[in-house]
Amino acid sequence: MRPVYIPVGHIVNAHGIKGELKLNPEGFTPEFVAVFDTLYVNGEPVRVKSRRVHKSTLLLTLPGVEDMDAALALKGREVSIRREDAHLPAGEYFDAELEGLTVLDDATGAELGKLHRVLHYPAHKVYEVRGPREYLIPAVPGVFIASVDVDGGTLRVHNMKGLDTDEN
Q: What is the pLDDT of residues 95-109, one digit of tens each?
A: 999 999 999 999 999
Beta-ladder partners of 5: 82
| Beta carbons of 98 and 137 less than 8 angstroms apart | no
Check whether 1 has a pLDDT greater than 80.
no
Residues 132-136 have a mean pLDDT of: 92
Beta-ladder partners of 150: none
| Beta carbons of 154 and 98 less than 8 angstroms apart | no
32 burial via Cβ count (<10 Å: 0-12, 13-18, 19+): middle
E strand or H helix that includes residue 21: strand 20-25
Segment 9-30, tens digit of pLDDT: 999 999 999 999 999 998 889 9
For domain 5-84, which architecture applies?
Beta Barrel (2.40)
What whole-number distance in Å separates Cα of residue 116 and Cα of residue 135? Answer: 10
Mean of pLDDT over the chain: 91
| Beta carbons of 50 and 66 less than 8 angstroms apart | no
The count of C-alpha atoms lying within 13 angstroms of the C-alpha of 80, restricted to the half-sphere facing its C-beta, is 18
| Beta carbons of 126 and 119 less than 8 angstroms apart | yes
What CATH number is given for 95-157 in this structure? 2.30.30.240
Contacts of 124 (CB under 8 A, 6+ apart): 138, 139, 140
Domain ranges of the chain: 5-84, 95-157
What whole-number distance in Å separates Cα of residue 21 and Cα of residue 119? Answer: 27
